[in-house]
Structure 1
Amino acid sequence: MGIAKRRRNKAITIRMNAAEYDALQGKIKESGLTQQSFIISAIRDSNITSAKELEVIKDISRNFADQDRQLRGIATNINQMAHVANGQGLLPTVEKLDEISDKILEFRKEDDNRWRLIRQSVSPLKATGA
């Protein structure tokens, strides 16, 4: 049978050191598949994260780190106000509470936007089976 008539008519060659080759052969033996079937299966079942996806993930991580820093600052401010109020027997003003509430709502809106972007970035991956 000629190469053109074969279903799989493309061949590749890869080079490995002894440890890599032994690891591959061990996994092939463990799988019970032929070397060809094992490698093709590994390729089909692999999930590769693209450079674009990595950048999105890094951007999301930076955004969450920034938000975490801001929330810690707010928590510190609230704790300081509670400490002063407790020490002086005072309660924060309505204006201050409104300001805190507005800031919390702002963070919640930012969170909602980030989660919307995350869902949008993941949706194409589900559609393509990646």
Structure 2
Amino acid sequence: MEHKRKINSKNKGGRPKKGAADKLKYRLTVKMATSDYYTLKGKARSAGISAGEFLRRCMREGQVKERITPEHTGYVRQLCGMANNLNQLAHKANAAGFVTVRMECRVLVARIEELLNLILL
């Protein structure tokens, strides 16, 4: 009888059970083009991991850039216009001399700095 108790209380071994946060219990279906599928498989193979693990790591560690907002689009358009004006001023400066264009350049540079601060913040 004592021998049976010893067998039942013996540690069976094996790995410890995973916690609820570590279990992979959700399944997600993704549709992709053939070229995307083979790109994913190739990158996962070269990394030495499964495609699922590759996607999980990309989700955790990768970054997806946000789309540019309409407000920022307007700022970028204004910057492009200012860049064009700055090029025209540089052409004037080369043709007529720098002193006549100095003030216009300072005003444009200040406005460009203001727009960059709006975009970056």
TM-score band, normalised by the shorter chain?
A: 0.5 to 0.7
The structure with higher relative contact order (CA 8 Å, sep 6+) is 1
TM-score by length of 2: 0.62
Query: Deviation at 1:104?
Result: 1.7
- Structure 2 stretches of 5 or more lacking a match? 1-16
Q: What is the alpha-carbon root mean square deviation over aligned residues?
A: 3.1
Tell me the distance in 2 between the aligned counterparts of 1:108 and 1:17: 46
User: Based on CA coordinates, which of the two structures has the bigger radius of gyration?
Assistant: 2
How many aligned residue pairs are there? 103
Tell me the distance in 2 between the aligned counterparts of 1:21 and 1:77: 54
Contact 2:92 2:101 in 1 (8 A): no
Match of 1:102 in 2: 103
Contact 2:82 2:108 in 1 (8 A): yes
Tell me the distance in 1 between the aligned counterparts of 2:37 and 2:60: 20
Match of 1:73 in 2: 88
Q: How does 1:1-130 map to 2 (within 5 A)?
A: 7-51=23-67, 53=68, 55=70, 58-82=73-97, 100-120=101-121
- Structure 1 stretches of 5 or more lacking a match? 83-96, 121-130
Query: Deviation at 1:70?
Result: 0.9
Amino acid at match of 1:103: E
TM-score by length of 1: 0.59
